[in-house]
Structure 1
């Protein structure tokens, strides 16, 4: 079926003989890697332990790429020269453990694709805000006329973009899972929006392991590169005090004035990294809330480092529309606003959402708990939330945490039911906020599916 070179398993060089590339996982990352791998001369085999979604299966068939589903054929997989592991597959998975024991390189899609482009990369990671910052950075650069693509953990996979486009710049959203699989990949400009506990189930419930994963984004940076970071974030500051990076540090803060970086002064976004200071009143930003001010700071810093003119930056900040499923206004029905924040899959994201609510709130929360500690939300819930609608299979922790501060807690098992219950519990002037603080895989395909079902349910009221 394929030509395999089994004598060179420990050395993966895109410049040498290609050999066999095995792709574990037939989703966005996997299919993108398969397309790029075939284009670059590898024998490619895609293996998925589950059924491959039809749209991805059709792409593999179109490109005449060999694949299997609902199984892993180990005697074939273990002949690989290099394996790309999709980010959803944990390192603890038996197949991955065996590959590592056999000293077969297991890398991420980001690592694989990065070796086939000379484009300037802006890499963006963080527990929250990375999608909005990625979209906004791309919006600014594209508006300024740069030849720029966007992908990674959002939109098309990085690998597919490298295979099919010829961008001179990339803005990539990078999850900790994607960063775990890098060895040589580098971003000229790296952004860490913030670090708060998330995905601890994948990191042995050790926050320090998760922090270290995020900081892999600066692992290969040089003196010519930049690390933009939230100077108000405790986890980031602690890491920087005890670790080093070669990159130039570019901080942003809404709490203190900085000699170098971005900060707030007199309700004005102020940036001092070039010879001329960039300023813009907060009232001019379309994105509202403290967290979005920080996202705007990070995106503006990146744009300035890439020599984008101030007028392009200002105009882009004034007309940017924001991310779907992140504090997205859906509708106002009988005086009640419905807000879709399905992308809030951890406690800190929901903290931001509740902080932004100016009206009495009916809060839809719940899903797959990733080791959540809800206690940070108690003051906001006590102040703003009049009723909780649980949207998950196991809601015990939510009921235990908030039962003493919220009188009404109702359990539901679907978006349509949750929306109907929330409407009954709300009155004119209230807000119904879907901000789950949890993953979605108990009742939905992903957070996008959850958000879409919520929006459809609202529109059907």
Structure 2
């Protein structure tokens, strides 16, 4: 496509916006980056080094309406006034993932789901590197997809993709897509309608053909309900911990069995997997099927599943102090993810929970809390819902307003053999910059015990 001299406006100066701007400049666009807030000095320096214009602390509407194409940050909702104004003029608005996909011929392996995206994406990438494939990791992880396309082509991109990113993708097509699960999350962005969120997640499969593969979980109720009523163009490959017949991967006793059509079947003992917990069995199955579809040999799959080190902030063991294990699961930002964290712990738990609530129904966790939790530390500015649900259910519930206070309170409740689990079930923005900041502060405090 001819782009030289065409005007591209990039809304948002985060990693995805900067990457889109750099790629746009490389492709001959006249680029403007516009942010409603302050742009970090390091970002400004990068834009200036690439001769890219920018503005901060607001969008100049006249300049927006001069664009022939707008690439927006996934954090900007579709009903934002600037987006409505631009679309009202017939100017196309797309996301960074969509934009970058127009300038690469690589095969795209794309992962979404309410929980497990980062672990599964990283695991797939790890196995592909084991197999000697030229694969880059992008999407919600590390350098943006657009930045990496601008810097040089790879044979494969492994992309973690959120529902917000999927909302802004139209012509994009995955070669292999993984849909891990769909549980309530970000419903405020979807008019508090679960059906809207489910449709957003299934955009991962849009434009796929029978030459492409969609890996999904046959145990996930929302996924299966959608598939009962909608036909997809992709080849469908399912994984299950309950049903063996017809699955591309399934659990047989304590052995994970792979049975991908066209690939010799094989099994791996659950105890040999480097990642522990029921949720990680699903992640391992989905990752294994996705790479086997690409022709990765069994030996690389087996080795990759056995030596993968995991990711920070997702059920990350920090250390043991006085016979008490401390686990950082700060990435558990919704109820379902916290359920997996609690379910994975053996023995008694002191649970550090809370943060920016997403409309959580904490009653979902009551069976696990009754079974395992001896104390709760509410790490949040508003602990009312946690107290309302769990007062009288567990022996102790206390409030904390810093990571240091939370760790000290948890240490006081725990006894040898217990686990202190930071698995908040909430976003982090009331007390922390993001979930990484929350997890990092937790780890630092634990190391100071």
Q: Which of 351, 355, 364 matches 1:376? A: 364
Please show how residues 12-23 of structure 1 align to structure 2 within 5 Å. 14-17=1-4, 19-23=6-10
Q: How far did 1:188 drift?
A: 0.3
Q: In the TM superposition, what is the alpha-carbon distance from 1:266 to its structure 2 partner? A: 2.8
Q: Report the equivalent of 2:383.
A: 395
Select the residue among 367, 390, 410 that pairs with 2:355. Answer: 367
For residue 336 of structure 1, report the CA deviation from its aligned partner: 1.2
Contact 1:113 1:158 in 2 (8 A): yes
| C-alpha distance after superposition, 1:337-373 (max 9, x if no partner) | 1100000010000000000111211111111111211
Q: Secondary structure at the match of 1:100?
A: helix
Quote the residue 1:302 is aligned against. Answer: 290
Bigger drift between 257-266 and 134-143 goes to 257-266
Distance in 2 (alpha carbons) for counterparts of 1:47 and 1:413: 35
Matched, 1:322 2:315: no
**What pairs up with 1:138-287 in 2 under 5 angstroms?**
138-273=125-260, 274-287=262-275
Match of residue 36, structure 2, among 49, 73, 76: 49
SS at match of 2:17: helix
Q: Which whole-Å deviations, capped at 9, do the CAs of 1:80-120 have from their partners, x for residues lacking one? A: 11111101111122212222222211111010000000100
Aligned to 1:444: 432
* Equivalent runs, 1:25-174 vs 2, <5 Å: 25-174=12-161
Q: Check whether the contact 2:375–2:397 (CA below 8 A) recurs between aligned residues.
A: yes
Measured after TM superposition, the shift of residue 267 of structure 1 is 1.5
The answer as to whether partners of 1:205 and 1:371 remain within 8 angstroms in 2 is no
Q: So what's the TM-score if we normalise by structure 1? A: 0.95
Cα displacement (A) at 1:259 = 2.4
412-421 or 338-347: which moved more? 412-421
Distance in 2 between residues matched to 1:117 and 1:63, nearest whole Å: 21
CA contact 2:240–2:247 (8 Å) conserved in 1: no
Find out whether 1:331 has 2:311 as its counterpart. Answer: no
> Do 1:361 and 1:432's aligned partners in 2 also have CA atoms closer than 8 Å?
yes
Report Cα offsets for 1:355-406 as digits up to 9, x if no partner. Answer: 0111211111111111211111000011111111111112211111111312
Say whether residues 1:352 and 2:354 are aligned partners: no
Measured in 2, the distance between the counterparts of 1:68 and 1:258 equals: 57
Aligned length: 448
| Structure 1: distance between partners of 2:163 and 2:18 | 20
Higher mean C-alpha deviation, range 386-395 or range 323-332: 386-395
Deviates more, 1:394-403 or 1:110-119: 394-403
Which runs of 5 or more residues in structure 2 are unaligned? Answer: none
Q: TM-score, normalised by structure 2?
A: 0.98
- Whole-Å separation in 2 of the counterparts to 1:219 and 1:448: 31
Give 2:373's aligned residue. Answer: 385
For 1:413, the equivalent position in structure 2 comes to 401
Deviations 1:19-50 (A, max 9, x none): 11111111011011111111111111111111
Residues 204-229 of structure 1 deviation map (CA, whole Å, 9 limit, x = unaligned): 11111000000001011011100000
In 1, Cα distance between the equivalents of 2:293 and 2:188? 36
**Residue 275 of structure 1: how far off its partner (Å):** 4.2
Q: What's the CA shift for 1:60? A: 1.5
Q: In the alignment, is the contact (CA less than 8 A) between 2:403 and 2:441 conserved in 1?
A: yes
- Aligned equivalents of 1:458 and 1:73: distance in 2? 47
CA distance in 1, matches of 2:191, 2:422: 29
Who is 1:426 aligned against? 414
| Kept after mapping to 2: 8 A contact 1:21/1:81 | yes
**In 2 relative to 1, CA 31–106 (structure 1 residues): closer, same or farther, beyond 3 Å?**
same
Tell whether the 8 Å contact from 2:263 to 2:292 is kept in structure 1 after alignment: no
Once the two structures are overlaid, the 10-residue window that deviates more, 87-96 or 132-141, is: 87-96
SS in 2 for 1:84: strand
Matched-pair contact (CA < 8 Å) for 1:330–1:340: yes
Contact 1:329 1:337 in 2 (8 A): yes
Matching residue within 285, 290, 293 for 2:281: 293
Task: Give the match's secondary structure for 2:47.
Answer: helix
